[in-house]
Structure 1
Amino acid sequence: MAMTTKTLPAQHQNHQPGSEQEMHPHPIYLSDSYRPAGKLEGKVAIVTGGDSGIGRAVALHFAVEGAKVAVLYLNEHEDAELTLDEINKHKGQALSFAGDVADEGFCREVVTKLLEQWGSIDILVNNAGEQHPQKSLEDIPQAQWEKTFQTNIFGMFQLSKAVLPHLKDGAAIINTTSITAYKGNPELIDYSSTKGAITSFTRSLAMNLAERGIRVNGVAPGPIWTPLIPSTFSADTVEHFGASTPMGRPGQPAEVAPAYVYLGSTDSSYVSGQIIHVNGGSIVNG
């Protein structure tokens, strides 16, 4: 598929992590063809970056599958409210918490409040992330490099560490990595580096926790239409987003979320240390 193919209207947002309300078309978070089957009935799940994008889709899918969901986000209050509204429309249960997942105190506070409210934690989805393209390594300020690592991988460490003492046999941790961990990206050097770290973190933690009956897996999305895209890239880049995939288009959050449902449910009881690639057909052999 030629890179000149236009897949979306040209658009750009001047703030990160971006707003779903400003996107056109809006992303699809739950497909009309999706059929819930109670796969997460009685579970309590945490989803970071749950205000929009992949995180919103995961939170919504978890809720319709019967889980109680804690939606963690930074400061996108309007988008987070929309996530909770969607969950409520589908008669699910959800709470929201605003804060920085790289903050140890915030992570501990969330865990404490969830245990008080719902009594257990069964699934942790580490999904929060940020990216800032730069033309060369020399253009990346140290502050950007450190912040990207703080959000993308330090946040996973902090929240996983806070949750881990309360996870029981059968629990699941699911980390969002990226196709960039396997293919790289010339303008997302720091972001791609964090995603490589997340893949290794996932594999190592899976081995470490196997004897405790806790499974750890990851999902590596390709180009998915989320608020991070128009808030990261130029209008011209957005216009051709996803055109280079074999399927010739970007994916929707609703097309990624079922992978998280699978990894969070007993359907994947013999799966740990693995990465599911949802990327429009790109073969990355990882």
Structure 2
Amino acid sequence: MSDVMEPMIHEDQLPGHESELEPKPDWQPRYPGSGRLEGKVALVTGADSGIGRAVAALFAREGADVAILYLCEHDDAAKTKEIVEKEGRNAVTIAGDLGDKQFCERAVKQVVDGLGGLDILVNNAGEQHYDEDITSITEDQLKRTFQTNVFGMFFLTQAAMPHLKEGSAIINCTSETMYKGSPGLLDYSATKGAITAFTRSLSKNLVEKGIRVNGVAPGPIWTPLNPSGGQPPEKIPEFGKSTPMKRPGQPNEVAPSFLFLACEDSSYMTGQILHPDGGNTTQS
């Protein structure tokens, strides 16, 4: 589409490759599966690495087939596909820009055709660029951040709706920055506020269809997003240490929140946000 801006992958090395990150994030599920997603098909955006990879791994362990959507990190996506298949589940990898409505429509069709349906949509992918001065945020960056984080979420949800049914679940990834604010992530934080409002509004819009919509607001989690440009290099050694737990979280500490909201354990919850953030949002 001519009106779709190119993802900002040259300005600040975003998105990052987990295969190049040291130390490696912990994505491994911590417990044996109990079949909570048996027979389900899940589409997870940004599933090549970080939180998305951990979600894909845990969903597969719980019985789901998984569609792995990602931008361009083919090595990471192949590794996530291998992880899902080692759990005995089917996986497909689909590369493209979520900010392109036509791509989202093609991707959902590929998921449904390849895996036989769609039960769970996880809108996890996000774009983040660090700027402490609001005047240094370019118009292109502002548009691109909203295009990935907000427009992409709308486009993919719109494409998924004809395939979702009673009992389906949508889980959106917002952020602690929506609640605490972030002086260096002005555009990113604004998108996360929009995502939270979208989650709450969509939950009311779809409740009569039996489709639950909830969100997860992670705190500082060790993924490629931050060391690849989402934070300045000098801040990385202290990343996450300002939380009450004095450390960053790991992706496999966040994935169980997505699982809980995807399965029947949360059958009486919609429009809610979970906060795996090391206690950060308890601080004023």
TM-score (norm 1): 0.93
The alpha-carbon deviation at position 114 of structure 1 amounts to 2.0
Give CA-to-partner distance per residue, 1:224-256, whole Å, 9 cap, x none: 000001112233211000000000000000000
**Number of equivalenced pairs:** 273
Residue 179 (1) aligns with residue 181 (2): no
Residue 273 (1) aligns with residue 271 (2): yes
Aligned residue identity for 1:98: A
Give CA-to-partner distance per residue, 1:34-87, whole Å, 9 cap, x none: 221110000001000011000111011111110010000001101101111112
Aligned to 2:144: 147
Aligned to 1:250: 248
Contact 1:51 1:73 survives alignment (8 Å): yes
Aligned to 2:5: none
Aligned to 2:189: 192
Residue 205 (1) aligns with residue 202 (2): yes
CA 1:14–1:188: 2 relative to 1, 3 Å: closer
Aligned to 2:24: 26
> Is there any run of 5+ residues in structure 2 with no aligned partner, and where?
1-10
Measured in 2, the distance between the counterparts of 1:194 and 1:235 equals 23
5 Å matches for 1:83-102?
A: 83-102=80-99
The alpha-carbon deviation at position 117 of structure 1 amounts to 2.2
Measured in 1, the distance between the counterparts of 2:190 and 2:103 equals 25
CA 1:189–1:14: 2 relative to 1, 3 Å: closer
Residue 132 (1) aligns with residue 129 (2): yes
Aligned to 1:40: 37
Aligned residue identity for 1:125: V
Aligned to 1:264: 262
Q: Which of these residues, 154, 159, 163, is aligned with residue 166 of structure 1?
A: 163
Aligned residue identity for 1:243: K
Aligned residue identity for 2:147: Q
Aligned to 2:105: 108
The alpha-carbon deviation at position 284 of structure 1 amounts to 4.5
Contact 1:182 1:284 survives alignment (8 Å): no
> Is there any run of 5+ residues in structure 1 with no aligned partner, and where?
1-12
Measured in 2, the distance between the counterparts of 1:55 and 1:67 equals 14
The alpha-carbon deviation at position 14 of structure 1 amounts to 5.0
Secondary structure in 1 aligned to 2:278?
Answer: coil
Higher relative contact order (CA 8 A, sep 6+): 1
Contact 2:90 2:115 survives alignment (8 Å): no
Aligned to 1:5: none
TM-score (norm 2): 0.93
**RMSD value, Cα:** 1.5
Aligned residue identity for 1:223: P
Residue 226 (1) aligns with residue 223 (2): yes
Q: Which of these residues, 52, 69, 89, is aligned with residue 66 of structure 2?
A: 69
Measured in 2, the distance between the counterparts of 1:115 and 1:81 equals 20
Secondary structure in 2 aligned to 1:283?
Answer: helix
Secondary structure in 2 aligned to 1:35?
Answer: coil
5 Å matches for 1:43-62?
A: 43-62=40-59
Aligned residue identity for 1:138: T
The alpha-carbon deviation at position 281 of structure 1 amounts to 1.2
Runs of 4+ aligned residues of structure 1 deviating over 3 Å after TM superposition are none
Give CA-to-partner distance per residue, 1:162-193, whole Å, 9 cap, x none: 00111100100000000000001001000000
